[in-house]
Chain A
């Protein structure tokens, strides 16, 4: 971030389309080899139309959005996410956030964060009301 953050500031959105190849690369790097994220037949057996992205794939994308704004991954001292909706292949994740408060004494800024997808003309929130705390110095 170039200027000091102020409550209410929006951070720049970060978009990416989710592909099967990306989700497989994530499974290998992150270690979650659950077939729900790789095997369409398995996903259908447990009630989904096809494989879904890991919640941690979506949170990792959100982290990339926060890091792009913070300027350094080491500045992120807290991140939370609740996974509220599945994400399917070919969908576009849109990560965003807004500065909720700035603590000058502690040198931290607290963001409310989210990730949306557009599905069937509706905005879904795979992540809603996440929190990120950034150390500014």
Chain B
């Protein structure tokens, strides 16, 4: 896993609305059984892949988004606004997935920036397995 670097100094201004619609190169994410087990342990779960484990797949694809100079996001000011997960099928431990990220929308409201990042997660068969939709809030300065 690549740790993101949230203290990187990004833009001091708002995000670039022109980055809306940007797509990023697909990344591979393996549903590592040891990591699933660690995730289950945090939430005291007995078996299976917890529904929110998809966050780990999102974090595999997020570094490219956060580092995009055209986006001009300052991650040190980001809070998580909302999250949606839609599953076409359960994830299988050990399988390899492809994660395709795109910026769905960028809006400014009340001095804060709102960015929707949509990630489609595909199985090895090329079929869509799940979609993760994440709204990040870039808090305004002051």
Contacts and interface: CB of A to CB of B under 8 A. Distances in A.
Interface of A: 22, 25-26, 28-36, 42, 46, 54-57, 59-61, 63-64, 66-67, 72-74, 76-83
A56 B52 contact: yes
Nearest to A47: B139
7 contacts: A34-B75, A55-B83, A56-B52, A73-B45, A74-B49, A77-B86, A82-B82
A80 B60 CA distance: 20
A82 B137 CA distance: 12
B54 to A, nearest CB: 9
A60 B39 CA distance: 9
B76 interface: yes
B83 A73 contact: no
Contacts of A26: 42
A57 B44 CA distance: 13
A66 B81 contact: no
B41 interface: yes
A81 B82 contact: yes
Given A25-B41, A26-B42, 12 more contacts: A25-B42, A30-B59, A33-B4, A34-B75, A46-B77, A56-B55, A56-B80, A63-B50, A67-B50, A73-B90, A80-B82, A83-B83
A36 B77 CA distance: 10
Q: Is the interface of A mostly helix, strand, loop or mixed?
A: helix
Q: Is the interface of B mostly helix, strand, loop or mixed?
A: mixed
B86 A55 contact: no
Contacts of B45: 64, 67, 73
Contacts, number: 104
A79 B85 contact: yes
B69 interface: no
B44 A64 contact: yes
B12 interface: no
B107 interface: no
Contact of A74 (B42, B44, B90): B90
Interface string B105-121: 00000000000000000
A30 B80 CA distance: 14
A86 to B, nearest CB: 9
Contact of A73 (B50, B55, B81): B50
A81 B4 contact: no
Given A83-B81, A83-B82, A59 B52 contact: yes
Contact of A79 (B35, B52, B56, B139): B52
A79 B50 contact: no
A35 B78 CA distance: 12
